[in-house]
Chain A
């Protein structure tokens, strides 16, 4: 465990970057430091591997003062990933990744074999091994950066806005990849970002910092969203924290209706039988059970539907896997106000109305409250 114990960083000109910060960073989880620029989050990260020395306070790593061991030994026991990757442009990808193992005295072949193994782990094609950094895209370079940090299998990974400089789609891919790698490796990760959505998505614990290097709140993301400590945190979380909080409620409990679903080749009797008072619209699917669109029962003709006349169904949610946020989003996107639940293959498993989703949200809130009381 990394324990930051009332640490202050004061620069010679009097600026206080970090002000009596105390944090306990749990093992084998992702702790995110988030805040506006100038809040001292990067300084805090750099104090952990002593690229910045604290003015006051101590940082304990597994109970030992970080100043007790030689600084370069400390640094080699912590992987470091930086914005824009910071790769060595004069070395090939495989040699970039092998850097720390080589410094630790591994043989060239062993280090390179390890590097190739890591390329696979972070989702890089082996054919890139002999390339140079300039031949890779920004997202690929960032993957190399992660692989390089993991090369010597350090227990701790420090990540300083690693995904800030890539476009949103690549960033989402990198975030998902990081979560997958973390599932496999279980590192103690400290992750700095200014993006609260990123923090909420990947953090096990989130430390919100405010300008002046003070800790505003330290909590799991769901608690942060439901219970911001003060106006600053609330403001920083943005206007739609209620909606975002739904990301933490599973859709598994939603009651999906299968009645208002008809195949595209349905007969007149089938259509008539499926139209109930409960559901004013019918969802039409193709022969494989994939959604095509909504229609009023009266507009449907037996044995063939003009897809152009169907109402859009939005973006279906994967029932049971996706959150209530995805389900609600789907219902809001469709003009019918109904969300379409699908299985992993995209086949319709049922439909659900905004009203039902609303009930599920209220239920989840109530459960959250009783859980919180029980915890107390």
Chain B
């Protein structure tokens, strides 16, 4: 495996530099997606009629190929990381919104009634009761969104030098160095596995109140269909 970590100079990064870039381009969209999904989901819980159209819109947005997004965005944001991260953010919504809505809705009626009867206002009830109880479902959604985002960053190679590890695959083609493609795929897989493990650890830390046997049952992971994209 001669030159496995020997990154062509046109990428302007070392291997570690590419990893940093890749994580930034993958994780910032997940974070931004979460920040959009939280209030959006709360609106969907408060106003039930809003949920079906929101689901419909997020699904349609998800169906738009990233290349189409790039074509539109490139006029405004140019060949930058931002152009890659905006579609990735939009894609996370299709996972995060249903995960959070289901999580918040899974809070038992009598728990909500008890909170109301104790004098919790709607905001306090959301922050102190509904959200903490929805944590397992939210993290289950974040796991899928994160893993899928890590793999999707590669498409940034389509608009030049913004695909991070994805550009390695492109370079493998140009310079006829297949080991670079192997490097890119393996590195991305390891990053995805580590990120997933980290999220599992965070959930264990945040939910000491869950029966250990029921953890898997009570927070079903959404189907990882997105990762196949």
Which of A51, A92, A100 contacts B113, CB < 8 Å? Answer: A51
Interface residues of B in 95-129 (CB under 8 A from A): 108, 110-121, 129
Tally chain A residues at the interface, Cβ within 8 Å. 31
* Chain A window 139-168, contacts with chain B (Cβ cutoff 8 Å), 1 for yes, 0 for no: 000000100100000000010000000000
- Chain B residues lying within 8 Å of A91, measured Cβ to Cβ, are 209
Q: Judge whether B116 and A75 touch: CB under 8 Å.
A: yes
Q: Interface 1/0s, chain A 93-112, versus B by CB < 8 A?
A: 00000011001000000000
CA distance A72 to B125 in the complex (A): 12
Q: Tell me the complex Cα distance, A51–B117, Å.
A: 7
Q: Please give the number of chain B residues whose Cβ is less than 8 angstroms from any Cβ of chain A in the complex.
A: 23
Q: Tell me the smallest distance from the CB of B52 to a CB of chain A, in Å.
A: 23
Docked complex Cα distance between A133 and B209 (Å): 8
Stretch at the interface among A77-85, A227-235, A247-255, A268-276: A77-85
- Whether A83 touches B114, Cβ cut-off 8 Å, given contacts A72-B119, A72-B121, A132-B208, is no
- Residues B113 and A82 in contact, CB atoms below 8 Å apart: yes
| B114 with A132: CB separation less than 8 A | no
A76 proximal to B (CB < 8 A): yes
Looking at chain A's contact residues, the main secondary structure is: mixed
Give the interface centre of A83, A89, A92 by most chain B CB atoms within 10 Å. A89
CA distance A51 to B112 in the complex (A): 11
| In contact, B117 and A83 (Cβ under 8 angstroms) | no
> Any chain B CB within 8 A of the CB of A127?
no
Report A-chain residues with C-beta under 8 Å of the C-beta of B209. Answer: 89-92, 132-134
Residue of B nearest to A45 (CB): B117
Interface string of A119-146 (1 = CB under 8 A from B): 0000000000000111100000000010
How far, in angstroms, from A90 to B133 measured CA to CA in the complex?
Answer: 6
User: For residue B112, which residues in chain A have a CB less than 8 angstroms away from its CB?
Assistant: 86
B211: interface (CB < 8 Å): yes
- Listed in ascending order, the chain B residues whose CB lies under 8 Å from chain A are 108, 110-121, 129, 132-133, 135, 207-211, 214
Task: Provide 7 A-B residue pairs closer than 8 Å at the C-beta atoms, listed in order of the A residue.
Answer: A73-B119, A76-B118, A87-B114, A90-B135, A132-B209, A145-B114, A148-B118
- A-B pairs, top 4 by smallest CB distance, nearest first, are A86-B114, A80-B117, A86-B110, A72-B119
A contact set with B: CB distance below 8 Å: 49, 51, 71-76, 78, 80, 82-92, 99-100, 103, 132-135, 145, 148, 158
